[in-house]
Amino acid sequence: MTIEIIKKIADYLVAAEVEKREVVKVSKVFKPDLTVDEAYQAQELLVQKKLDEGHKIIGPKMGLTSKAKWDQMGVSEPIYGYVFDYMLVNNGGVLPFSELIHPKVEAEIAFLIGEDIEGPGITGAQVLAKTQYILPALEIIDSRYENFNFTLPDVIADNASTSRVVFGNALKKPSEFDLELVGATLSINGQLKELGAGAAVLGHPANSIAVLANMLARKGDKIKKGDIILSGAITSAVMLRVGDFVSGKFDGLGEVTFFVG
Q: Which is nearer to Mg ion, 63 or 248 (CB)?
A: 63
231, 208 Cβ separation under 8 angstroms: yes
Taking the C-alpha atoms of residue 254 and residue 167, their distance in angstroms, rounded to an integer, is 11
Q: Which is nearer to Mg ion, 139 or 244 (CB)?
A: 139
Strands 79-84 and 162-167: unpaired
Rounded to an integer, what distance in angstroms lies between the CA atom of residue 223 and that of residue 78?
16
Closest CB 229 distance from Mg ion, rounded Å: 11
Decide: is 69 part of the binding site for ligand OOG (CB under 6 A).
yes
Q: Rounded to whole angstroms, how far apart are CA atoms 44 and 157?
A: 8
The answer to whether residues 64 and 154 touch, using CB atoms and an 8 Å cutoff, is no
With CB under 6 A as the contact rule, the residue among 6, 215, 233, 246 that binds ligand OOG is: 233
Interface with ligand OOG includes 160 (CB under 6 A)? yes
The minimum distance between CB 108 and Mg ion, in angstroms, equals 6
From residue 86 to residue 125, the character string flagging contacts with ligand OOG as x (rule: CB under 6 A) and all else as - is --------------------x-------------------
Q: How far is the CB of 7 from Mg ion (least distance, A)?
A: 27
Q: Which residues contact 227 (CB under 8 A, 6 or more apart)?
A: 57, 58, 59, 60, 112, 113
In the complex, the residues that contact ligand OOG under the rule CB under 6 A are: 63-65, 69, 73, 106, 139, 141, 143, 148, 155, 160-161, 232-233, 237
